[in-house]
C-alpha cells in the first residue's frame, strides 16, 4: 500500500502540481452534500468537471485518482462526491448531489478557483448513468465521457442492491437511461472494455444506438474489462487507462478550453 501511495505521488508530480479542497452544498430536502475538488496550481479559474464513480467504490479506488489528477494537471477543476453507507449509491441522494454540484458550479458557488458557466461530466459504470440523469437540458453541460456505462439502472436480482432496483421499478421514466441519452444536448464519448463482464459491451452499443450520432463517439478498448486493466489496489497505469486519460483531456479541451 505504501508503494501504491509513493507511485501515485510520483505520478502526480510528473503530471503537474494540483490543489484540492473540500466543499459542502445544500440539498432541497434540507440536508447537505459534500465532496472534494482537485484543480491545477497557478491557474486563477478552471472549468469544472464532475466525476461520478461506480457503485461501492471509493475516491481512491481503481483508476479514479489517476484520471482526476490528469484532468486537473491539464487545467480542469475536477469534483468527486462523498458517499455514506459504505460508499454504495443512494440513488435519490446521488442524483440530488450531482444536480446540486452542476447548479453550484454553473452559478460560481463551489470555489473561487472553479469557473462558472459550464460543467463537464465523467461517469464510470452506474456513475455514468447517474451523470446522464443529472445533466440539465439547458446546455450548461456541453459534454460527457462515460466509461463502461450501463444502459439500465435495474440490473436484475439484487444488483447492485434490492432497494436500488425497487426504486427504479417504482419510477421507470424518471430513471430511464434511454430517455436521458436521447435528451442529452451535448457531445458524448462512450468508452467500453471489450471484455467487460459487469457491464457487457452490448450495453455500450445500446447507448450508442440511442445517442445522436453526429455528437457521439464510441471507443472500444480491446481485451480489457470494467476496470480497463487496473488492479485493486491500484499501483500502476495501463495503456488503456493512458488512452482514456488522453481521450478525457482532449475531449474537454475541445469543449471547454
Residue 7: what pLDDT?
Answer: 42
- Are 168 and 153 contacting, i.e. CB atoms less than 8 angstroms apart? yes
Q: How far is Cα 164 from Cα 89, in angstroms, rounded to an integer?
A: 8
pLDDT at position 162, please? 65
Question: What is the longest distance spanned by two Cα atoms in the chain?
Answer: 49
C-beta of residue 252 within 8 angstroms of C-beta of residue 71: yes
Pairing verdict, β 114-124 and 143-147: parallel
Give the span between the Cα atoms of 255 and 75, in whole angstroms.
Answer: 13
Q: Which residues pair with 144 in a beta bridge?
A: 121, 188
Please report the pLDDT score of residue 165 as a whole number: 81
Domains of the chain (ranges, CATH numbers): 2-256 (3.40.50.1820)
Q: State pTM to two decimals.
A: 0.91
pLDDT at position 234 is 84
- CA-CA distance, 248 to 23, in Å (whole number)? 24
Q: What is the pLDDT along the chain (257 residues), one digit of tens a residue?
A: 333 333 443 344 445 699 999 999 999 999 999 999 999 999 999 999 999 999 878 888 889 999 999 999 999 999 999 987 656 778 899 999 999 999 999 999 999 999 999 999 999 999 999 999 999 999 999 999 999 999 998 876 555 566 778 888 899 999 999 999 999 999 999 999 999 999 999 999 999 999 999 999 999 999 999 999 998 888 889 999 999 999 999 999 999 97
Give the separation between CA 102 and CA 131, rounded to whole angstroms. 10
**Euclidean distance between the first and the last CA atom of the chain, given in angstroms as a whole number:** 36
**69-99: string of b/e by CB count within 10 Å (b at 16+)?**
bbbbbbbbbbbbbebeeeebbbbebbbbbbb
Contacts 24+ apart (CB under 8 A), 126-129: 126/54, 126/55, 126/89, 126/150, 126/153, 126/160, 127/51, 127/52, 127/53, 127/54, 127/55, 127/89, 128/52, 129/153, 129/177, 129/180
CA distances from 82 to 23, 57, 204, 235 (A): 10, 11, 27, 23
Strand locations in the chain (E): 18-26, 32-40, 46-52, 77-81, 114-124, 143-147, 187-193, 216-221
- pLDDT for residue 84: 75
Contact 245, 70 (CB under 8 A): yes
For residue 105, give the nearest of 40, 41, 35, 175 by alpha carbon: 35
Q: CA–CA separation, 60 vs 232, rounded Å? A: 10
Amino acid at each position: 500500500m505504501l508503494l501504491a501511495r509513493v507511485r501515485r505521488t510520483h505520478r502526480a508530480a510528473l503530471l503537474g502540481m494540483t490543489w484540492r479542497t473540500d466543499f459542502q452544498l445544500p440539498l432541497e430536502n434540507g440536508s447537505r452534500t459534500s465532496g472534494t475538488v482537485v484543480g491545477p496550481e497557478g491557474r486563477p479559474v478552471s472549468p469544472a468537471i464532475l466525476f461520478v464513480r461506480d457503485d461501492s467504490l471509493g475516491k481512491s479506488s481503481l483508476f479514479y485518482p489517476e484520471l482526476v489528477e490528469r484532468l486537473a494537471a491539464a487545467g480542469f477543476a475536477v469534483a468527486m462526491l462523498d458517499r455514506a453507507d459504505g460508499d454504495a449509491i443512494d440513488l435519490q441522494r446521488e442524483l440530488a448531489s450531482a444536480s446540486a454540484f452542476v447548479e453550484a458550479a454553473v452559478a460560481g458557488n463551489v470555489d473561487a478557483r472553479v469557473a462558472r458557466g459550464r460543467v463537464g461530466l465523467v461517469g464510470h459504470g452506474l456513475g455514468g448513468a447517474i451523470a446522464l440523469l443529472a445533466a440539465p437540458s439547458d446546455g450548461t453541460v456541453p459534454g460527457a465521457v462515460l466509461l463502461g456505462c450501463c444502459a439500465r439502472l435495474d440490473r436484475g436480482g439484487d444488483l447492485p442492491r434490492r432497494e436500488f432496483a425497487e426504486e427504479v421499478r417504482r419510477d421507470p421514466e424518471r430513471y430511464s437511461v434511454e430517455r436521458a441519452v436521447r435528451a442529452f444536448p451535448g457531445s458524448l464519448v462512450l468508452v467500453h472494455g471489450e471484455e467487460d463482464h459487469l457491464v457487457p459491451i452490448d450495453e455500450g452499443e445500446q447507448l450508442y444506438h440511442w445517442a445522436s450520432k453526429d455528437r457521439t463517439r464510441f471507443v472500444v478498448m480491446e481485451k480489457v474489462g470494467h476496470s480497463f486493466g487496473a488492479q485493486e489496489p491500484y499501483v500502476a497505469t495501463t495503456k488503456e487507462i493512458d488512452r482514456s486519460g488522453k481521450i478525457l483531456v482532449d475531449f474537454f479541451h475541445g469543449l471547454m478550453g
